[in-house]
Amino acid sequence: MIRSTLILCVCSVSFAVHAMAETPRQVDVPAGDLAAALDSLSRQAAVDLVYQPEQVKSVHTEGVKGKYTANAAVRILLKGTPLELHTDPSGAMVIAPAHVGSDSASDTASGNGDKPAQDSESRDRLHLAQAGTGASAGPPAAVNGPGTTAGDSPRLEEIVVTAQKREESSLQVPMSLTAVSGEQLARAQSFRFEDYIGKIPGITFIEDGQLGSQLVIRGLTTGSATVNSTVATYIDETPYTAVGPWAGSNVISPNLDTFDMQRIEVLRGPQGTLYGASALGGLLKYVTNAPDPSGFDSAVEAGVSTVHDGGVGYDVHGMVNLPLSASTAARLVGYTDHYPGFIDEPGRGLMNINASRVTGYRLSLLVAPAQDFSIRFNANYQNRSWDDNNNEDLEPGTLRPVFGDLIQ
């Protein structure tokens, strides 16, 4: 059995640069699915678009081709759809359902870069933390705020992040940032890199099984034998970093289970000023939920899964928050996940040999003797194990399976 162990003791919004959004660019986005079209336009125009995936699902667009500003191109893509573009004073481009009486979704967009008029809704901010729930917005997402009805336009409220090591509105952070809420991670059963990295713009994930995991932001990497990782990883304010040519820093990114996580933040671009030399490409930051002295809380989650031509898997997660006094509390999170295999090895009579398991816990103790002063102790333990390598035998040149599909 092959193991990888992590022991460490000690939350979408994306931004577009205003000047880039106002610069005409040659774009060619074919007609078809709106989500794919927006993704293509985002890459071609080098801007970030903020929207809720559920709202653009199954929506068709006629496409756009020519030299347009990002604003004009988006409005052409949205023409004839139930969606419209809101532009925040900071330049954030938010796509949301058209409110009653609005005709901005049917406006004719031209290539001269005319900026859509800003109304009261376009000045609203993105919402991450709803009272009592922790988080509700994800990458990239615009969500209805509390109290809205079906006839109201979406209330885009404030996201609070700690990208600059202090709590502030995400719209005040002068860098490209995506925040994925813990609530959205839980709703999508996204407990590991493989589940959510593909939904975050600009970041890719290279998984090498028991050898580790490598994160790449905007294609910036120094290869598989780097002295320092180009993407830093933080758990709260604690760096998880290895340095040196033989420290394995290229695959050291901890694939931490996200159950009971407050949010995940991804900062694109160099972050050396605040996060050190290992953040040349950017930063992935886990923000855990702090213990709450105000009352007892607990949560349990369990699931079962199957893989086609493979085995059966399961996951069990639990959390308990224990107030110890008016100013002290402890929070314990535990989990075990079994991911089923699907590769067989008949020579040894073994089935599903690439099954893997993840087991771990997080313990946090909070002491707050004064209103503006607190001390928090954190401990993290995680063990990942694999029954065998995740590969099959192929013929050189043709790359056809030697013994058949999914056989090692």
Q: Could you read off the pLDDT of 98-116 as tens digits, one per residue?
A: 763 343 333 333 334 443 3
Dihedral pair phi/psi, residue 191, rounded to 5°: -105, -10
SS3 content of the chain, % helix, strand, coil (to 5): 15, 35, 45
Give the DSSP H/E element, type plus range, for residue 359: strand 356-370
User: How many whole angstroms separate alpha carbon 352 and alpha carbon 15?
Assistant: 43
Pair 205, 215: CB distance under 8 Å: yes
Q: What's the mean pLDDT in 317-323?
A: 96
Domains of the chain: 18-160 (3.55.50.30), 175-288 (2.170.130.10), 297-386 (no CATH)
Segment of 59-73, 260-274, 311-325, 390-404 carrying the highest mean pLDDT: 311-325
- Which of 35-39, 118-122, 155-159, 357-361 bottoms out in mean pLDDT, i.e. has the lowest? 118-122
CA torsion 78-93-272-167 (nearest 10°) is -130
What was the pLDDT predicted at 9?
58
Whether pLDDT at 119 is above 60: no
Give the DSSP H/E element, type plus range, for residue 25: strand 25-29
Q: Could you read off the pLDDT of 248-281 as tens digits, one per residue?
A: 666 778 889 999 999 898 888 787 778 877 788 8
- Tell me, yes or no, if the pTM score tops 0.85: no
pLDDT tier, 126 (very low <50, low <70, confident <90, very high otherwise)? very low
Whether pLDDT at 97 is above 60: yes
User: How many whole angstroms separate alpha carbon 43 and alpha carbon 27?
Assistant: 10
Q: What's the mean pLDDT in 162-181?
A: 72
What was the pLDDT predicted at 386?
85
Q: Could you read off the pLDDT of 327-379 as tens digits, one per residue?
A: 999 999 999 999 999 999 888 888 898 898 999 999 999 999 988 899 999 99
Q: What percent of the chain has pLDDT over 90?
A: 21
Please name which of 143, 138, 129 lies closest in space to residue 97, comparing C-alpha atoms: 143
Pairing of strands 93-97, 49-51: parallel
Look over the chain and give the mean of its residue pLDDT values, rounded to a whole number: 76
Whether pLDDT at 132 is above 60: no
Give the DSSP H/E element, type plus range, for residue 3: strand 2-9
Pairing of strands 282-288, 231-235: parallel
Q: What's the mean pLDDT in 162-166?
A: 70
Helix boundaries (H) for 232-349: 272-275
